[in-house]
Structure 1
Amino acid sequence: MPTSRKGDGDLSPVAISAAGLRKSFGDKLVLDGIDLRVPAGSVFALLGPNGAGKTTAVKILSTLITADSGELRVGGHDVAVDPQAVRAAIGVTGQFSAVDGLITGEENMLLMADLHHLSKREGRRVAAQLLERFDLVDAARKPAQSYSGGMKRRLDLAMTLVGNPRIIFLDEPTTGLDPRSRHNMWGIIRELVSDGVTVFLTTQYLEEADELADRIAVLSDGKIAAQGTADELKRLIPGGHVRLRFSDPAAYRTAADVLREVTRDDEALSLSIPSDGSQRELRAILDWLDSTGIEADELTVHTPDLDDVFFALTGPANLPKQPEENVR
């Protein structure tokens, strides 16, 4: 399997890679030469508005449709040359459940075991194990159409795991779920990754990407607008600041007079200092407060969240070009 450099001298396997991926439908260019590298055993989140091409990327990487051009490898296999080997290495859970509502949850699992050519004994063992893991034992012999939305999504993912894939594509897996069911699904995804599974996730829930993803790419107009960790992406957006609040009006006035480029709130006795929220800048502010003998009663760091990143990168306004290390 190819490797990716995480840090100096540190090479880790790459589970999924795409270079120059392009796809058009008629005269509509959906993916315009995107590049992605997903280290094994990590969660990679692909964000973008409706119609950005997220599902198209998943379908291409999981061999459901073909790319117009690009070099694509999944699980060490060339997607164009050996799609069957790719299919054997992956599991896919789409936006819409593949569960058959007319049969029971257990029967859905056994059907999937048959498709993976497991023996009846092995199929029953794997089905029972996964139904227990996903807390579906009590409902196993009930028609799947009677399941709640969260139960159907858990069953769908359990069916995906019958073949023990090491790479899983989850295309908006929590769409339509209530907050509790969504958090339950997050826990399942974390367990999978702790077992060494690689998860390629598309989602419109920015909190979901922030909670789960080791790396995030933002797709806009068929291109990757930015890529990096959640913290790296947040630092691309202006508006971060450190807020100092004072209870002593004299200390507040002294600090306001000495500091430059601050926003004052005379009523709240607070000052906002532009900052990217980095440890270096925070240490500089604390050192300055110590050197001047000024004591703030409260210091809070405010950084842009992924909502800010999403709207800035997918809206009409373009950000300045991000640093080279975040583009790769």
Structure 2
Amino acid sequence: MEPSVKPQPLAYIMRYHRELLVDPMFWTSRHLDLIGCRFQSCKSTEYTQNNDVRQAQSNDNALERSDVDHGPPNHSTWSRPSDPKRLAEGSTPLTRLFSLIRILEYEGSTFEQRRERAPKFYFAGRSIHRPDFTVFGRRKEANSLPDDAFQCLIGYFDYTSASCGRQNKFQARCHPGGGDNAPVGRLHNKRLAKITPANWEEDPYFLCLLLALAQLQKKSLQTKGQKTYTSRLLVSKWQEPEFIHLYEAQFTSDLLEAIENPKDATAYLDWPTISRKKIPFKPYDTFRARLVAELSLPENRHCHNASDTKDATDVVKGAPKRQSEEEDVTRTVRRKVDMTC
């Protein structure tokens, strides 16, 4: 945040900065500065290599060695890439999405994909934007009461949707007479450059996705009067084969009410600091256990010191072993299509 910018209440922004009331894909660092929201980089959690994790690694290696197709007469073999590898290196958004679904929805998993469409982002009581992302939540056990104590939703966002989405919004139309429309194209490129974040890992658009998750929780949770709502967001990026990025933010009920009625929000309310953490894909054979451990941490535990890993280690210790997967995936995911720019 720029030190010269003083955060302002939403009512002030509505009155004096209406030029900032734009499509969330056009949000810039100036939006974050005016509300007092920022990103904080956190260290990845270090996990102890206990016996259970070593056994899981051994099982994964055995599965990968056995997961081959035997070819015609020359007996050549082809090893199917593991899901973590496909998530890291997949060339299409749909490939990466299916890989993450298989990673999180194993037998006995506590996570499941929400089947409805991705939630909309609301501002001033109106639907402003529906992000293109997938939502996971805690699996509900049969005949069990809902536990609202820790029901934070987890979104998965492929950054292709942001980069291609912005480009599409600034696509120059063909000249009516069939001539060159290069001047308009150059103008659109300048506008696109102004809203493209210098560091994609701190894209202000992520705030919109986290808010949409928090608003959905506030609407759907059965326990009324909850004070805070935790949102988590996994982000992958094509040609970023080293890490998947995990973002977390806690939104107070007062702040969500102010977003619902911004003209009445004359007093400044604190906005959350968005923590961000890089989770290495490698080693692939422990990626599922490490990812599940991170997603299972209680709120506010993601930015503790790397040595403070008791809870995460316990989760890894109890993480289930990788299950055998079918070659052909027949699952259909709503609204997800391959995108090319």
| Fold agreement, TM-score > 0.5 | no
TM value normalised by structure 2:
0.23
TM value normalised by structure 1:
0.23
> Larger Rg: 1 or 2?
1
